[in-house]
Amino acid sequence: MEKTKQQKAKDFIINNGVIIVMFILVIYTGLTSDNFLTRNNLMNILMNMSSRLVIALGIAGCVITAGCDLSAGRMIGFAACIAGTLLQRIDYSGKFFPDMQPMNVFLALIVVMAICAAFGSITGFFIAYLSVPPFIATLAMMEIVYGISLIYTGATPLGGYVKSYTDIANGKFLGISWLIWIAILVAVITWFIFNMTRHGKYMYAIGGNPQAAEVAGVPVKATMILIYMKAAAMYGLAGFMLGAKAGGASVNLGYGYEMEAIAACTIGGVSVTGGRGKVSSAIIGVAVFELLKAALQYLGVDANAQYIAIGIVIFVAISLDIRKYVAKK
């Protein structure tokens, strides 16, 4: 029996309730706060979105296959610390490697992403070949990476970066920060992978029904390893970006970012039940979170209370996603 227009409208409002409420909140904040809708503030929001979007796009692939990745936050901190030790000025008093010349920025990025990708492939191997649930596998990798970060850095904060590294955050092209351009490039590449490649088709097939996908000839195990390896490489890029933006790093940089990224994907339409999700889903979800945080800040909401608001949004977003899944069964 076809739904009436009234029922369709009701379902749309319920399923997109979080986005609608955020939209209303942004309008209210814009009307009551003089500087909220200024170009500078919007650019700041986009800069904050840039690294978060890269993380969300990495996690999106895991969520589409009905998985998750709890190691993302610790991987980001690890990546930022590796980049920091490779890109300190030669005359910096607290230089991690005193006699080493600063590495080329692009080469350092490749090293960081390659190291993170290696850890991601290990996670993918345990998930694909040993049938370890993604929650457990990534939780274990989260602890391993954090421990390695602590040993590597001695829990010492890093700073004194070369200008060519911090310029990634401070520099602009056509009046737009390089961080935003990097996020746009990653979004375009991810869209191409999701929609125009065999890997993308395999990913959606596994998320829909892994047993049926394997029977149909999809290389499920190899695809799962590649998904987690690709995701970890993107966390490496995000850590590299955050280190440039902060001008320093510690092992705790990026802590908890994975939860927000998973929630952002879900808000935008990437289903935790697998098989559904787009690049635009991650973009919408990240935008909702960053606008929420900015609006609450402008409205004078206590910084600690903002965590409660974010938690409520996560609860509602996951509940609505499960509701849509149950309704389709």
* Per-residue pLDDT tens over the stretch 235-284: 999 999 999 998 889 999 988 888 888 888 888 778 777 788 889 888 98
Task: Identify which of 3-7, 101-105, 224-228 has the greatest average pLDDT.
Answer: 224-228
Find the mean pLDDT for residues 289-296: 86
Find the mean pLDDT for residues 200-216: 90
Task: Identify which of 7-11, 24-28, 191-195 has the greatest average pLDDT.
Answer: 191-195
Nearest to 25 by CA among 265, 294, 305: 294
Nearest to 19 by CA among 184, 272, 264: 264
Percentage of the chain beyond pLDDT 70 is 93
Cα 235 to Cα 79: distance, rounded to the nearest angstrom: 8
Q: Label residue 103 left, alpha or beta by phi (over 0 means left) and psi (-120 to 50 means alpha).
A: beta
Distance of CA 20 to the CA centre of its chain: 22
Q: Give the count of alpha carbons within 13 A of 59, CB side only.
A: 36
> Residue 172's beta-bridge partner residues?
177
What's the pLDDT tens digit per position in 211-240? 898 889 899 999 999 999 999 999 999 999
Return the pLDDT at 1.
Answer: 43
Cα 227 to Cα 277: distance, rounded to the nearest angstrom: 15
Reply yes or no on whether the pLDDT at 5 is more than 80: no
Find the mean pLDDT for residues 127-148: 95
Cα 117 to Cα 2: distance, rounded to the nearest angstrom: 47
Return the pLDDT at 327.
Answer: 54
Task: List C-alpha distances in Å: 284 to 50, 57, 254, 280.
Answer: 12, 11, 21, 6
Nearest to 208 by CA among 55, 123, 328, 70: 328
What's the pLDDT tens digit per position in 300-327? 888 888 788 878 877 777 777 666 655 5
Decide if 261 contacts 254 (C-beta within 8 A). no
Cα 311 to Cα 164: distance, rounded to the nearest angstrom: 37
Task: Write the DSSP string, 42-59.
Answer: HHHHHHHHHHHHHHHHHH
Return the pLDDT at 15.
Answer: 63
Return the pLDDT at 303.
Answer: 81
Cα 96 to Cα 153: distance, rounded to the nearest angstrom: 8
**Which residue type sits at 86?**
L
Return the pLDDT at 308.
Answer: 84
Task: Write the DSSP string, 254-306.
Answer: TTTHHHHHHHHHHHHT--TTSS---HHHHHHHHHHHHHHHHHHHHTT--HHHH
Return the pLDDT at 324.
Answer: 61
Cα 72 to Cα 261: distance, rounded to the nearest angstrom: 9
**Secondary structure of residue 101 in the 3-state scheme:** coil
Residue 244 burial class via C-beta count within 10 angstroms: exposed 0-12, middle 13-18, buried 19 and up: buried
Cα 41 to Cα 60: distance, rounded to the nearest angstrom: 27
Cα 110 to Cα 233: distance, rounded to the nearest angstrom: 9
Find the mean pLDDT for residues 128-139: 94
Return the pLDDT at 325.
Answer: 56
